[in-house]
Amino acid sequence: MSEIAFIKMHGAGNDYVFIDAFVSAVPQSPGQLARKVSNRNFGIGADGLIMMSPVEHADVEMRMWNADGSEGAMCGNGVRCVALWMELQDRVFETCQIRTASRTVTVTTAQLDRTTNGGVFSVGMGQSHAAADLEQLAGIRLPSADSDVEFTPVSIGNPHAVVFVDELTDRVVRHVGGEIEKHSRFPDRTNVEWVQVVSPTEITVRVWERGSGETLACGTGACAAVAAAIQRGYCSADTDVTVSLPGGRLKVRMDDTGRTWLTGPAQVSFTGILPSPD
């Protein structure tokens, strides 16, 4: 049986198993491998699988698969980890262009520590689009609520449904989040952000990620939450907004045209070898 080298990395606790296809063999069935390695009881444990490959007109191509084996379009925490690994391998210096399934992004190194194999990186995420009007999800209600859930649709290379609440609870996030992800309003499913506004420059967010369930952090989810908060008037454009997530803090800034920047940590956890499922 063949073997595949892997790297385990995370951004604010949003963890993935990475395969460096610059030097390693790649599986023929990455979705199958994603399901296997993501299992936290019988596998390595992760929110999904990310493959880094050579590509023309960019420094690296990033493809990602969620924990359920479905392929995703974009991952704000994942791209920071890719940039970290590319710099640790001396393939880039200070900036890294990464092609994803939805867009090409540029990641800039803010801090790098080769002793700990970690750092802080800023990503030009491109445009965030928050809908001007709230929508309601028929048939889904929050506990103790007497009306359907209201949400702000946001696109940042992948779909998001942002819901503002007074209190973040497990029952709301985990139970209702799964219902919203698979609601008929979203034929391709959606990420769900539960947001509590702390101040004009800070929000607290928990994320139910499409295909993976609740995650400790979500980079695109943080951007979507800030975009919706600006649209609703809770925060202001051209201002750094701290997004507190269970796994740590990210910083998001969005200008008045929707261009968005995401800054946060990336860290190598460990490396290893796993048997190929093919």
Catalytic residue among 96, 218, 223, 235: 218
Looking at the structure, do residues 67 and 116 belong to the same domain, yes or no? yes
Looking at the structure, do residues 171 and 242 belong to the same domain, yes or no? yes
Q: What is the mean pLDDT of each run of 10 residues along the chain (278 residues)?
A: 87 98 90 96 97 97 97 96 98 98 96 98 96 93 82 95 94 91 95 98 97 96 98 97 98 96 98 77
Write the DSSP string, 38-53. H-TTTSS--SEEEEEE
Looking at the structure, do residues 115 and 134 belong to the same domain, yes or no? no
In terms of DSSP bridges, do strands 213-215 and 3-11 run parallel, antiparallel, or are they unpaired?
Answer: unpaired
CATH assignment at residue 83 = 3.10.310.10
Write the DSSP string, 124-191. EEEE-EE-SS-EEETT---TT-SSPEEEEEEESSSEEEEEE-S---HIIIIIIHHHHHT-TT-TT--E
pLDDT for the residue numbered 25? 82
Domain holding 138, by residue range, is 129-257
- 160: β partners: 154, 191
d(CA 245, CA 16): 17
75 is catalytic: yes
In terms of DSSP bridges, do strands 14-20 and 129-130 run parallel, antiparallel, or are they unpaired?
Answer: unpaired
- Residue 190 in tokens: 């959606």
- Residue 140 in tokens: 């889904």
223 is catalytic: no
**Which amino acid is located at 185 in the chain?**
R
Looking at the structure, do residues 234 and 151 belong to the same domain, yes or no? yes
Intra-chain end-to-end CA distance of the chain, in Å: 8
In terms of DSSP bridges, do strands 241-245 and 135-137 run parallel, antiparallel, or are they unpaired?
Answer: unpaired
Looking at the structure, do residues 26 and 44 belong to the same domain, yes or no? yes
Instruction: Report the predicted TM-score, pTM, of the whole model to 2 decimal places.
Output: 0.94
pLDDT for the residue numbered 147? 79
Looking at the structure, do residues 244 and 150 belong to the same domain, yes or no? yes
Domain count, the chain: 2
Across the chain, how many H-helices and E-strands are there? 5, 18
Looking at the structure, do residues 219 and 199 belong to the same domain, yes or no? yes
Looking at the structure, do residues 117 and 163 belong to the same domain, yes or no? no
Looking at the structure, do residues 79 and 29 belong to the same domain, yes or no? yes
